[in-house]
Structure 1
Amino acid sequence: MKSEDNYYLAALARCRGLGSRNIQKLLGKFPSAAAIWQAPREALYLVGGLSSQQVQNLLRFRKENQLLPEQLAEQCQRLGISLCSITQGNYPNILKEIFDPPVVFYYRGQLQPEAVRVAMVGARRFTPYGESTALEFGKQLAAAGLTVVSGAARGIDTASHKGALKTGRTVAVLGCGVDVAYPAENKRLLQEIPERGGVVLSEYGPGTIPLPIFFPARNRIISGLSQGTLVVEAARHSGSLITAELSLSEGRDVFAIPGSIYSTTSQGCNHLIQQGAKLVQEPVDVLVEYGLAAPPKAKMKRQFTPEERQIWQVLSFEHPLTIDEIFDSLPDGEMSNLAFLLLQMELKGLVIENELHAYRRAERE
């Protein structure tokens, strides 16, 4: 398929009620997507496979959007967005295998079709345990050569991407256009992913705003791109479990990190383990499934001032502390420049500040 034909295919994908499976049937009957876009009414009826209503919808959509293929081509070129169609060689084969693969997707960054990918998903409202686990697993899995796939949502998704970016590649699958930053606080993250060898992709065209209906459909791409899905932290009825269920339905691996039986944010993971998901306690539990070894752990070279060492000793990896809690835990009970010292330690990579402005150690002992 010629590259310009991709934009006719992208235009067809925007026709409501047509669907990717019907578009693929049409591609088997017509020589190109452009030929489908330009086919007369009689030809569309004669090929079979489409209902009368679907033919009418397509004819009406074409009439109202005659210049859409050309407009999409211009828009993508202007915004630096690439388009990949299911007929192209760089379309990931693993994504073709799912029940309803997107016929096209838009992307920014570098596609690596044959990369070994694992999805990491979880709650938007996470605990410090979930955040630190997602950061650590994202970092270790990417360092071992896996590409971490997630949805760039608040919470576990964001932590997974950030962890992976420290050592390797990550893929963000959006429920909006790839030129739209959602959530807004992830604007820099979504710029950084393609800059550092990863990919931001979506089946929705440029400028598409996020709508609730788009996210369940987005989840099938997250699981579809991945050999397995790791659920880090999720409530019993979390949307993250949809991704795990999709992964199961496609015969892919499902992993889950256990949590406290008293934590509502771990009930979903614990339930998945009951249902047969592989219990994961450390990154190597995932890596062995794909014949990969854990990377050698680099020892952080820590250089502390005496005051920084006092702060370090009251912090932990799992439980972030606010400035007031740190102050109260210091042996002297006074350190007037505590906020400045924490900033310096963050710049050195010794501590991490979370969204609630609480601090923890950057690595486990």
Structure 2
Amino acid sequence: MVDVTANSYTAEQHALLALWSVPGLGPRTLERLRSFARGGLASLASCPVRDWLAEAPLPPPVRRRLAGFSALEPLATQLLERCARAGMGLAFQGQPAYPARLAETDDAPPLLFYRGQIGPPRRRAALVGSRHPDQGFLPFARTFARQVAEGGVGVVSGAAAGVDRACHWGAMDAGGETWAFLGSALDELDPAQARLLPHFLARGGVFFSELPPGVRASTTTFPRRNRLIAGASDAVVVLRAGVGSGSLYTAEAGRAQGRPVFALPGDVLNEAAAGCNALLRDGHARACLSVEEVWRAVGILPHRHVPPAEGSSWEELSVEARGAYQVLNRVPKSFDEVLAGSQLSPAALTSALVELELSGFVIQHPGRLFERV
């Protein structure tokens, strides 16, 4: 159960929660406000709103909304109460639950609301596409996502009807990790998303949103959430998109964030693939012709996914390396956890893990976490 009680957060975080609940106040405005408040955001919460509102660098609509409050604390309290009722967790930048890759991007939200269990660090790929692809494409998308997930790669998408949802199901078919970034608050799900959520919660998936409770999806929220899908991923793959598909915003965000962007080419007469073909024609994406290219783009080599016992390189491994491999699985483990499960000394285990990594049987994540691949 996620703890969202008021005493779980610092004064600075309380002030951030209060301000983030005000419509129209985004990441960049918040940064300007933080620079304005010499003692941090907490200094704004410690005095009446009227004392600083007139000079604060705020858009007029936000200023008008804040003028209706005497202090910030009631806003934070109200937000926390709504999160508790909806079972939402809060992840601030810098906390383990906040996606590390997303935190590296410009315009990343200072916090996220989530439902589900945040897993350990791993490589992730955004798999996105049209809500209405051509007939017969959704089974292909589901299979493609399942194969990506079977390589130990997390699947990130937007829980929208069509390709996005097929990709989530494909990841769950493989027992893999999947994240969905929504264009609404987590207490304002549409009926289809509400039906999908229990499957996520039961299978280790996570719903994320940057929007505070009570905010419904709109034509403006969907393009903005697409930057979160790309930002939380190591690569972006557009599986199917027409010229007006919202997934093209995700590709654009991925390019701006420096992510590798791929698109599956389609028949030139197929209007449902025209967006993908345009990305390739204009040099805005690389052609994706296999799952192996996705693995390679996120840093996992295709040959690593051959069952080790069937590869000749397995026979060349030392006894220590084979023993360490048996302790690992597709959930990253720390060095100490592997050490506790093996009969090796720290020095011998270090050597074994290096051998496994160089041979392509293990990948090391930041923070000295090791995962079988």
Give the Cα–Cα distance (whole angstroms) in 2 for the partners of residues 270 and 38 of structure 1.
55
Pick the aligned partner of 2:189 from 177, 181, 187.
Answer: 181
State yes or no: 1:236 paired with 2:235.
Answer: no
* Cα shift readout 1:242-295 (whole Å, capped 9, x = no counterpart): 110111011111010111111000011111112221111211111112232454
Give runs of aligned pairs for residues 1-365 of structure 1, distance below 5 A.
3=9, 5=11, 6-27=13-34, 29-31=37-39, 33-40=41-48, 41-43=50-52, 50-51=57-58, 53=60, 56-57=63-64, 59-63=66-70, 67-112=74-119, 114-167=121-174, 168-182=176-190, 184-276=191-283, 277-294=285-302, 295=305
Structure 1: 5+ residue stretches without partners = 298-365
TM-score (norm 1): 0.73
| Change over 3 Å in CA distance of 1:54–1:180 after alignment to 2 | closer
* Cα shift readout 1:140-189 (whole Å, capped 9, x = no counterpart): 1111111111111110011010001111010011111213332x133232
The alpha-carbon deviation at position 18 of structure 1 amounts to 3.2
Aligned pairs, number: 294
* Cα shift readout 1:191-229 (whole Å, capped 9, x = no counterpart): 211321121010112233222221111111111111111
* Cα shift readout 1:50-108 (whole Å, capped 9, x = no counterpart): 15847834641534976221122122223221011225354223212222111221001
The match for 1:318 is none
| Change over 3 Å in CA distance of 1:132–1:225 after alignment to 2 | same
Structure 2: 5+ residue stretches without partners = 1-6, 308-373
The answer to whether the Cα contact below 8 Å between 2:97 and 2:118 also exists between their aligned partners in 1 is yes
Task: Out of 203-212 and 103-112, give the one that drifted further.
Answer: 203-212
Which residue identity does 1:170 align to in structure 2? T
| Change over 3 Å in CA distance of 1:196–1:36 after alignment to 2 | farther
Task: Give secondary structure in 1 for the equivalent of 2:102.
Answer: helix
Task: Out of 186-195 and 265-274, give the one that drifted further.
Answer: 186-195
Task: Give secondary structure in 2 for the equivalent of 1:67.
Answer: helix
Task: Out of 216-225 and 65-74, give the one that drifted further.
Answer: 65-74
| Change over 3 Å in CA distance of 1:18–1:281 after alignment to 2 | same
Give the Cα–Cα distance (whole angstroms) in 1 for the partners of residues 237 and 30 of structure 2.
32
Give the Cα–Cα distance (whole angstroms) in 1 for the partners of residues 58 and 218 of structure 2.
28
Give the Cα–Cα distance (whole angstroms) in 1 for the partners of residues 68 and 235 of structure 2.
38
- Give the RMSD, CA atoms, in angstroms: 2.6
- Identical-residue share of aligned pairs (%): 36
Task: Give secondary structure in 2 for the equivalent of 1:128.
Answer: coil
Give the Cα–Cα distance (whole angstroms) in 2 for the partners of residues 180 and 166 of structure 1.
26
Give the Cα–Cα distance (whole angstroms) in 2 for the partners of residues 113 and 22 of structure 1.
31
Which residue identity does 1:35 align to in structure 2? S
TM-score (norm 2): 0.71
Which residue identity does 1:171 align to in structure 2? W
Task: Give secondary structure in 2 for the equivalent of 1:188.
Answer: helix
The match for 1:348 is none
The alpha-carbon deviation at position 109 of structure 1 amounts to 1.2
The alpha-carbon deviation at position 16 of structure 1 amounts to 3.4
Which residue identity does 1:285 align to in structure 2? E
Give the Cα–Cα distance (whole angstroms) in 1 for the partners of residues 104 and 140 of structure 2.
31
Give the Cα–Cα distance (whole angstroms) in 2 for the partners of residues 4 and 174 of structure 1.
27
The answer to whether the Cα contact below 8 Å between 1:176 and 1:209 also exists between their aligned partners in 2 is yes
| Change over 3 Å in CA distance of 1:77–1:42 after alignment to 2 | closer
Give the Cα–Cα distance (whole angstroms) in 2 for the partners of residues 55 and 215 of structure 1.
21
Give the Cα–Cα distance (whole angstroms) in 2 for the partners of residues 133 and 222 of structure 1.
21
